Structure 1
Amino acid sequence: MMKHLYVDPRKEEAPTRDRKAHSTSLPKAKETKLHPTSPGGETASLFFVGTATTILEWEGIRVMTDPNFLHAGEHVHLGPGVSAERITNPAVDLHDLPRIDVVLLSHYHGDHFDQKVEESLRRDLPIVTTPHAKSCLQSKGEDSFSEVHALDFFQSLMLDIETGSIRAGRKPGIKVTGMPGQHVKPGLLSAANNLLKAVPPTNGWMIELGYRSASDSESFENAYRIYVSGDTLMVDELKEIHERYKDQSIDLMLIHLGGTTIPSLAVPLLMVTMDAKQGVELIQLIEPEVTIPIHYDDYDLFASPLSDFKKAVEEAGLSSKVVYLDRKDEYKFKV
């Protein structure tokens, strides 16, 4: 039986401990992008905050991915002897966010869940994440997060949205499924990482926006499907995503790029996120209707700039299927 998480977006609470939202909406987007070939009828939006932080809005609910709200010049710890400096600012400050209903956290790493976020988020904010991250978030004694839900690869959870309205016997719902991801490719380095636990396990996500019967909590009909790659390399495990969804459309892919290199660009021993070449390979494997690159230039460990990805996309003849967002831009789409 599928796990369920009940969410009531009618409760206007800030995601931070003070619980008093400073705004009821996100800031006005710097630029709004639409479907590159068939715009019209938009009913949902994705707001790009920076790094891997996005905010999805649909049917009155807000889902935030990988909250990272440090500013330029601040540092995060990424493992033994590894730190990174942020070189950009987020599109909105953490304490200026409106209500957030659920957080999807791909893994427990400072550039996805920074120290200020960890200090500031209210402890009962629902977080969907990996089993490893759940153990970390709930190991803080009285200061632990209380609403953490773990999903392993291909496990699913239904966000039951309590809007108070039922249309034609149906209610909106969001199905979240954990997708495979690997920060380190199999081999000696992976074995060493398993021993040292330097780089944490990571998930991607399949987010399905749709409707369920008001009388049957297990029913669900997808209307729009979003794949979020998470911090992964192009590994064989991703082929299973193609196999499972090859007869189902993937409308949008958010792809984590940057070619993150540790311990530093000066000593590039290990790449732990996709570079431009791997990013194009993932588009060709998943075949989404639209791809939006994120996680590409916010920290000083990113070795593969967005310009490399744009060039690779053009050379592959995929430009009509990619939309580029800067921080504070939004993508509106039809569900």
Structure 2
Amino acid sequence: MASPKHLVLDPNDTRPPTIGHPSAFPSERPNAKATKTHPSKAGNENASIYFVGTATTIMEWEGIRIMTDPNFLHNGDHVHLGPGVGSVRRTNPAVDLDKLPRIDAVLLSHYHGDHFDQKVEASLRRDLPIITTPHARSALTSKGPESFTAVYDLAPFQEMNVDIKGDADMRKRPSLRVTGTPGKHVPPTKPPDELKELFHAVPPTNGWMLEFGYTTDNGTFASGYCIYITGDTLLVDEVKEIPQRFPDKHIDLMLAHLGGTTLPSPSAPVTVMVTMDAKQGVELMRCIRPDVTLPIHNDDYEVFVSSLEDFRNEVEQAGLQGGVVYLDRGEEYRFRVKG
């Protein structure tokens, strides 16, 4: 494995995440409509995940905020998903883009309109750190004067260290470790002739193993909480191999991108499913065996055809309901990073 890439985040950096005057932006995110915790092991939580909508979340710990897959379109807005393919959003985000609080970095699973929409692309500060795929890095840094300037790419199983700036005499410093994980946004089969162009246009995608922990003076990282973010993927063999690639990794939480996204549209004569549906989501739970699963990315666009209720039913039939927490947009899940 290549040497890990490295990023340092400063919790005292007060610059807004989007282009504009700092006074126009709040320093804190909106209060959560509801707070949820581990179904059976709650207590002493020191970190949180705020669900904005689609695959967009804001994670907070040790004074920094990480945003995943920023999508801030509104009900009725159109998104481009491929050659001649689009969808209309049917929900609103929990917070508007122009009211977004300070964000320290973005974790972007792939360069697709429902994960990095046109308004986000036009508005984000150009030097905001973005961790993403090689494909997305190439796209984001190839826009001439409008290019993003702090983009880091990770291939599957490549690591990146993210330190949180603190007092110089700290014997251990808060840190994050980000590892790319495989994802397959199109079926691993030969596409029908009618969909060949679409297959080639769907961008490569990553999942992530995101670990919160501490790094000691000698450079040793100790994980205190591990989140597996699936990204937009189907349940392919590469994903099923994740437990073998991380045999000693305890997964505290899984953010599962679901929805059974169907392109070019659910009503088209020839279609293809490009994200997990409810059945695949439950099968992945059995494979990964996380303590808790948070289902996201399931009802925000017309191309999502596998509902959250479908997933809830599959979970109950499998007897796994004790390991799932359901968040509505604007709600948060709080957890504890050990250390």
Q: TM-score range by the shorter chain?
A: over 0.9
- Which residue of structure 2 lines up, in the alignment, with residue 287 of structure 1? 289
Corresponding residue of 2:56: 53
- Identify which range, 279-288 or 19-28, moves more after superposition: 19-28
Offset at 1:190? 9.3
Query: 1:69 and 2:78 equivalent?
Result: no
Structure 2 distance, partners of 1:175, 1:139, is 27
The residue number in structure 1 matching 2:306 is: 304
Q: How does 1:176-325 map to 2 (within 5 A)?
A: 176-189=178-191, 197-213=200-216, 215-216=217-218, 218-267=219-268, 269-325=271-327
Answering whether residue 97 of structure 2 is matched by residue 94 of structure 1, we say: yes
Contact 1:253 1:291 (8 Å CA) reproduced? yes
**Offset at residue 197 of structure 1 (A):** 2.5
Counterpart AA for 2:330: K
Deviation at 1:9, TM superposition (A): 1.5
**Amino acid corresponding to residue 41 of structure 2 in structure 1:** S
Please tell me the residue identity of whatever aligns with 2:324: V
For 2:167, the equivalent position in structure 1 comes to 164
CA contact (8 A) 1:256 1:293 kept: yes
Conservation of the 8 A alpha-carbon contact between 1:261 and 1:302: yes
> Which AA in structure 1 matches 2:231?
G
Structure 1 residues 102 and 190 mapped into 2: Cα distance closer, same or farther (>3 Å)?
Answer: farther
1:184 aligned partner, one-letter code: V
Shift of 1:265: 1.2
Residue 328 of structure 1, CA deviation: 0.1
Distance 2:111 2:36 in 1: 30
TM-score, normalization by structure 1: 0.96
Q: CA deviation at 1:164?
A: 3.0
After TM superposition, the structure 1 stretch with the greater mean CA deviation from structure 2, 84-93 or 1-10, is 1-10
Deviation per CA, 1:107-157: give whole Å up to 9, x if none: 000000000000000100000000000010011011100000000000011
Q: 1:34 to 1:53 in 2, by over 3 A?
A: same
Across the aligned residues of Structure 1 and Structure 2, the Cα RMSD in angstroms comes to: 1.6
Separation in structure 1 between the aligned mates of residue 241 and residue 211 of structure 2, nearest angstrom: 18
Q: Would you say the 8 A contact 2:240–2:284 is kept in 1? A: no
Flag the 1:239–1:188 CA change in 2: closer, same or farther, 3 A: same
Equivalence map 1:86-125=2 (5 Å): 86-125=89-128
Quick check: 1:13–1:19 contact (8 Å CA) kept in 2?
no
Task: After superposing the two structures, state which structure 1 stretch, 237-246 or 109-118, moved more.
Answer: 237-246
| Distance change in 2, residues 1:47/1:227 (3 Å) | same
Deviation at 1:194, TM superposition (A): 8.3
Q: For residues 186 and 330 of structure 2, what CA distance do their matches in structure 1 show?
A: 31
Identity of aligned residues (%): 59
CA contact (8 A) 1:156 1:177 kept: yes
1:19 CA drift (Å): 5.3
Specify whether residues 318 and 6 from structure 1 end up closer, same or farther in structure 2 by C-alpha distance, changes over 3 A only.
same
Which position in structure 2 is the counterpart of 1:127?
130
**Paired residue total:** 332
Amino acid at match of 1:30: K
Match of 2:19 among 2, 11, 17: 17
* Contact residue 193 and residue 199 of structure 1 kept, 8 A: no
Whether the aligned pair in 2 keeps the contact of 1:61 and 1:101 (CA below 8 Å) is yes
Residues of 1 paired with 2:288 and 2:330: CA distance?
A: 27
Using the TM superposition, name which of 269-278 and 183-192 deviates more: 183-192
Q: CA deviation at 1:196?
A: 5.9
- On the 8 A contact 1:262/1:269 being kept in 2, the answer is yes
Q: Which stretch shifts more, 194-203 or 315-324?
A: 194-203
- Report the CA distance between 1:195 and its aligned residue: 8.9
Kindly provide the amino acid, as one letter, of the partner of residue 159 in structure 1. Answer: V
Larger displacement relative to structure 2 (4-13 or 226-235):
4-13
Cα distance between partner residues in 2 of 1:164 and 1:311: 49
Query: Cα distance 1:243–1:49, how it changes in 2: closer, same or farther (>3 A)?
Result: same
**8 Å Cα contact 1:165/1:171 also seen in 2:** no
- Taking structure 2 as the reference length, the TM-score comes to 0.95
Structure 2: gaps (5+ residues): none
Deviation, 1:240, is 2.2
- 1:35 paired residue among 25, 38, 53: 38
> Where does structure 1 lack aligned partners over 5 or more consecutive residues?
none
